[in-house]
Structure 1
Amino acid sequence: MPVTNEEIAELFESMATLLEMKGDTVFKIRAYQRAARTISHLSFSLEQAIRDDVDLKNIPGIGKAISEKTQEYLETGRVRAYEELIGELPDGVLTLMTIPGIGSKTAMLITQELGISTVEGIEKAIHEGTLAALPRMGQRTADNILRHIQSMRTKDGRTPIGQALAVAEATVSALRAECPYVEQLYPAGSLRRWEETIGDIDLVGVAPEDLQSGVGDVLVELPSVQEVLVHGPRKTSVVLEEGIQVDLRLGDADAFGAMLQYFSGSQQHNIRLREYANRRGFSLNEYGITNLASGDVARLPDEGSFYEYLGLPYIAPELRIGLNELDAAQAGALPNLVTEADLKGDLHLHSEWSDGRDPIERMIEAAVEQGYQYMALTDHSSGRGIANGLSNERLVEQMGILRDLQSQYPITILCGSEVDIRADGTLDYPDELLAELDVVVASVHSAMGQDSDTMTQRIIRAMEHPSVTIIGHASTRLLSRRQPVQFDIEALLRAARETGTAMEVNSAPERMDLKDTHAHRARELGVPLAINTDSHHFTSLGQRRFGVAIARRAWCESRHILNTLPLDQFLAYIRTPKPHRLEIFESRTDSAATVTTSTSFSNPPAAP
């Protein structure tokens, strides 16, 4: 089995934790944390990079020690320094730290004083009162830990962005309704950066100083609040019934840009930005930019002026990962990121003919309401009898209906299908029927337990079919519910390029598939990406924002996305034999230059 970047990143994150427990230097701890974050966001395989004799030290955040340990792990399957750290610490320390509310010092205290090494042991100690009796613990802290343990049994501690975003938007709406004097109020943190799972929800806003405490008062009284953690004039933290923590921070309008930037993160982006500022004689915090020589503080009202003060162009939140975005900003090489407005169509929609909930006509109307030039109805193939798939005869009937409906709507209606990729890589429908379709989305829905080599060859065989337009939700994952299938992403993307097959960025918030790092690599290789919603209900077409966010995190511009092509060019693309489609895609004549505009809370407007 290939070693994934995620596996290597987890190793270094664990080493940072162990060093923290041991009381090692903060610089060494941060180096391992930085390496873990860097590796988890790489678009290419570290294992492949080493095979290609790439010097890992050229990657920001990876120094000599990290490079050597990475090579040691890939060559031997172990890291001696990690094993030595494990041997120096009490058994069970890492297990205890998986419980929210238990940090490194608390875990060490519990293992040393109580000899506990399991979650079940913690529960027993709480019920017996021995945990609360520990120094600096107390009954309230013990009760909170018990609540976190109970919550862990239903989820992994992070919330999929689809759920978190709905909670954040409902909370913001409730606060705005009761506090009309709040001038700006936006999600920050990982939610604003559109990461696929969220820890806590950070909200930052502006209100007159004498009214700021009133906003916190409203928050703690919301019906959904289960527990109040902090309640002050400028900061209030609560836990909602869903188990999600919401942290509200309020500031002043003239310094809102610095505050929003600081709490939007990411931590690694802010570290690199702080180092950049220090070299130029400035220090940064949530209140503004301080001139180290004079002590003067610039209080910036919006993020644009914040970055401009540092001599940088605005860096979109989706790019703030802490890898190479600052280098690109300094070189004037930031992308003009794709926006929702750039999309000209949706190529993956379902109706009540298979497992959708609405008639064909309502799905067409929903596409018209989005302002699209074209759409493809792609109900499921019959496959193994799942999802009420269409038989050959029903598909022919549906194509006739779609063509009859064309004259009734101001949008080009394309005949399509989401065709199951069988276990051996063949497709459900016969070749002559597939050839009649305008758009074929080929997806895996069965035999998901195949090994990596088998799954990779299975999908590649589907790509080689002349009628397959797009590979749908390639990993098949469902966030927090189903693990992705195993495959060689590099081999898949190279095959997609060679065969002229597009790869889907599935916008369904429970999928978000391809994920951002895979989409990033697809863009690097020149593989067309199609941002689709996989809608099973007419309201779901609005979920395109999740797919657009993935593409933005992958540094995609309009020119990298297949369904930003205007109608005439898109029709030319799908009517061209696959080996030559890339020529159409790469010679597009629409303007590829878009602006990084606001979508939802992605880039909030400047304060007045």
Structure 2
Amino acid sequence: MDNREVAWTLLEIGKMVELRGDSKFAGQSYKRAARLIERSEPIKKLIDENKLRNLEGIGDRIAQNIMDMVKLGHSPKLEKLREQVPCGLREMIDIPNLTSQKVHLLYKELNIDTIDKLEKAIASKRLLSVKGFGLSTIGDIKSGIEQYKQRGRTFLLGLALPLAYSYLKEIREMDCVKNAEVVGEIRRMKETVSSVEIIVLTDDTQKFLTTLKKNNIEIDSNKEKRTLEFEGNYNIPVKIYLSPEEKYGIEKIIYTGSEKHVQDLEALGLLKQRSDNEGQVYDSIGLKYIPPFLREGDREIELARDDRLPNLISVKDIVGDLHLHSHYSDGLNSIEELVKAAKRMGYQYIAITDHSQSLKIAKGLTKERILEQWREIDRIQGKYHIKILKGIEVDILADGSLDFQDDFLEQFDIVVASVHSHFKQHQNEMTARIMKAVANPNVDIIGHATGRLIQKRMPYDVDIKKVLNYAKDYKIAFEINSSPDRLDLNSENILLAKELGLKIAINTDSHSTLEFANILLGVGTGQRGYLEKKDVLNCWEKEELLAYLRG
């Protein structure tokens, strides 16, 4: 198990402990440990070097649980907890705006153990009898249920993507496999996916099946459709499609989707084609090759026919990160460790953008601490060619003013402005609040502009289209925050921003060096939004970016 798998397991244990009704502290301790492990150095290294218990918040009990799961490849504790917690409660905690503590309270007070019972209790107003469940909270839960039903059982791209490529690596190493690719929603880089899907070209199906079973994969085989299915890590369904060589290209397109895109291609004669190459298939029906990220049945067919597809950005185009947190606020690593990680990424520049003073929960920086940080940056800068920008993630306060005065903000190299509080404002208030920050000449980037946490928290009530239209008259960029549960702006809003001529910054908002890898998610979201190099600030060469910021 790697850090991501261990962190996910700890988070699940924390939820199960809270659902069982243990102390709030017990559940929170597992959740804190999960966040810490996700951002720490490789878990096997921590165990081998006996450093696990040195991490703040990792006590003997949690450390032993971690060592057990790494050694065994699974968690006996989590498996035991799942046996003790009703299945319906485990489903209910996937509803946005409904915490595991609230689920336990509803179970304890009203014996609500399914989503159906929850909906009936809301309709009958029984929830109002439970302490802490007022009209506002119940309204949030109702909207959470609607969102849950709309999306179905889905998983974050940031969770499913590494899993898909770990299976792909394993499959490609089999000597009976001639070719294999990740397909489906993951290949299209959708922010949430229903399954991991892989297409395989093998010259010995029986040997392939035998090898999978040797690797402890229990397969549900559909011989008629040549589809293999099993449940992978994180309970994510995995589907493997076995394709004949002469249909490999066309079936790769079909299994990648989307359904609407494939239907549009079928109208052009897709099913009559025979090729093991996707590009040849598109060419044979009169289209330029369409990248998977654009295959949503929107306007990509028309653009491909007219040779007007964008030259999409790629990860190799990213030459810097403009939103990073150090241990001065709530980051795990020192500034120099962040610089070294950026060097390994091949970056030309980074921005250190720790939180501002009002965000005390994230150890927001006072002016004094910022000046101390600047002195450290000056010392480090002399050792590295990478440009270290002195930045800040400044809070947009409830009235739209910023957490520092303008005369101080103008001394920063770069300013990211973000909302971190007062999420419940009405639309007019929230929209005006962000527009006020857009108009501030010291702000360079609006961070995670809609405030959503995918599958956890709905966007705050902001008219983002109005904000983007307003912003076109200002020198301001909007962020794609690459955190797996943010991906904010989303692809729809990115496309609007591009059409309005706004610039985008694809940032990781990293709180540890391990999170630099999330840039892949942000780039994928940008690709779905039709972004090209010229649209993205941190695709620009260092001198071009510095000139833009100074101007």
TM-score by length of 1: 0.64
Q: By how many angstroms is 1:120 displaced?
A: 5.4
Distance verdict in 2 for CA 1:466–1:329, change over 3 Å: same
Q: Report 1:526-565 matches (<5 A).
A: 526-565=501-540
Measure, in 2, the Cα distance between the counterparts of 1:119 and 1:376: 44
Match of 1:372, SS? coil
Measure, in 1, the Cα distance between the counterparts of 2:540 and 2:515: 22
Match of 2:287, SS? coil
Gaps of 5+ in 2: 1-93, 95-113, 118-147
Tell me the alpha carbon deviations over residues 31-75 of structure 1, each in whole angstroms, 9 at most, x when there is no partner. Answer: xxxxxxxxxxxxxxxxxxxxxxxxxxxxxxxxxxxxxxxxxxxxx
Gaps of 5+ in 1: 1-97, 99-117, 122-151, 278-282, 285-289, 291-297, 577-608
Amino acid at match of 1:418: E
Q: Which residue of 2 aligns with 1:524?
A: 499
Q: Which residue of 2 aligns with 1:214?
A: 207
Deviates more, 1:398-407 or 1:514-523: 398-407
Q: Which residue of 1 aligns with 2:161?
A: 165
Match of 2:401, SS? coil
Measure, in 2, the Cα distance between the counterparts of 1:218 and 1:247: 16
Q: Report 1:27-42 matches (<5 A).
A: none
**Does residue 1:230 correspond to 2:233, yes or no?**
no
Match of 2:239, SS? strand
Tell me the alpha carbon deviations over residues 329-380 of structure 1, each in whole angstroms, 9 at most, x when there is no partner. Answer: 1111111111111122110011111111111101011111111111111111
Distance verdict in 2 for CA 1:492–1:120, change over 3 Å: closer
Which of 463, 470, 483 aligns to 2:458? It is: 483
Kindly, what percent of the aligned residue pairs are identical?
A: 37
Tell me the alpha carbon deviations over residues 555-597 of structure 1, each in whole angstroms, 9 at most, x when there is no partner. Answer: 1111111111111111111001xxxxxxxxxxxxxxxxxxxxx
Q: Which residue of 2 aligns with 1:327?
A: 302
Measure, in 2, the Cα distance between the counterparts of 1:442 and 1:213: 57
Tell me the alpha carbon deviations over residues 70-92 of structure 1, each in whole angstroms, 9 at most, x when there is no partner. Answer: xxxxxxxxxxxxxxxxxxxxxxx
**Does residue 1:242 correspond to 2:259, yes or no?**
no
Tell me the alpha carbon deviations over residues 423-458 of structure 1, each in whole angstroms, 9 at most, x when there is no partner. Answer: 111111222221110111100111111111111111
Match of 1:194, SS? coil
**Does residue 1:461 correspond to 2:454, yes or no?**
no
Q: Which residue of 1 aligns with 2:192?
A: 197
Distance verdict in 2 for CA 1:535–1:241, change over 3 Å: closer
Q: Confirm or deny: 8 A CA contact 2:163 2:233 kept in the other structure.
A: no
Q: Which has the larger radius of gyration?
A: 1
Q: By how many angstroms is 1:184 displaced?
A: 2.0
**Does residue 1:512 correspond to 2:507, yes or no?**
no
Measure, in 2, the Cα distance between the counterparts of 1:238 and 1:473: 36
TM-score by length of 2: 0.71
Measure, in 1, the Cα distance between the counterparts of 2:462 and 2:202: 50
Distance verdict in 2 for CA 1:384–1:361, change over 3 Å: closer
Q: Report 1:116-155 matches (<5 A).
A: none
Q: Which residue of 2 aligns with 1:271?
A: 263
Measure, in 2, the Cα distance between the counterparts of 1:495 and 1:538: 35
Q: Confirm or deny: 8 A CA contact 1:216 1:235 kept in the other structure.
A: no
Q: Which residue of 2 aligns with 1:175?
A: 171
Match of 2:431, SS? helix
Measure, in 2, the Cα distance between the counterparts of 1:190 and 1:356: 32
Measure, in 2, the Cα distance between the counterparts of 1:242 and 1:361: 34
Measure, in 2, the Cα distance between the counterparts of 1:519 and 1:339: 16
Measure, in 1, the Cα distance between the counterparts of 2:386 and 2:157: 31
Q: Confirm or deny: 8 A CA contact 1:216 1:236 kept in the other structure.
A: no
Measure, in 2, the Cα distance between the counterparts of 1:525 and 1:430: 30
Match of 1:423, SS? coil
Amino acid at match of 1:556: L
Measure, in 2, the Cα distance between the counterparts of 1:430 and 1:220: 63
Q: Confirm or deny: 8 A CA contact 2:450 2:464 kept in the other structure.
A: no
Q: Which residue of 2 aligns with 1:55?
A: none
Measure, in 1, the Cα distance between the counterparts of 2:215 and 2:492: 38
Q: Which residue of 1 aligns with 2:103?
A: none
Q: Confirm or deny: 8 A CA contact 1:496 1:503 kept in the other structure.
A: no
Measure, in 1, the Cα distance between the counterparts of 2:486 and 2:115: 30
Q: Which residue of 2 aligns with 1:432?
A: 407
Match of 2:472, SS? helix
Tell me the alpha carbon deviations over residues 471-498 of structure 1, each in whole angstroms, 9 at most, x when there is no partner. Answer: 0011111111111111111111122221
Tell me the alpha carbon deviations over residues 471-526 of structure 1, each in whole angstroms, 9 at most, x when there is no partner. Answer: 00111111111111111111111222212110001111111000000001000000
Q: Confirm or deny: 8 A CA contact 1:175 1:218 kept in the other structure.
A: no
Measure, in 2, the Cα distance between the counterparts of 1:261 and 1:357: 42
**Does residue 1:374 correspond to 2:349, yes or no?**
yes
Q: Confirm or deny: 8 A CA contact 1:213 1:232 kept in the other structure.
A: no
Amino acid at match of 2:442: S
Measure, in 2, the Cα distance between the counterparts of 1:387 and 1:156: 33
Amino acid at match of 1:441: V
Q: Which residue of 1 aligns with 2:285?
A: 310
Match of 1:396, SS? helix
Q: Which residue of 2 aligns with 1:185?
A: 180
Measure, in 2, the Cα distance between the counterparts of 1:174 and 1:332: 37
Which of 244, 251, 259 aligns to 2:251? It is: 259
Measure, in 1, the Cα distance between the counterparts of 2:454 and 2:160: 13
Q: By how many angstroms is 1:220 displaced?
A: 4.8
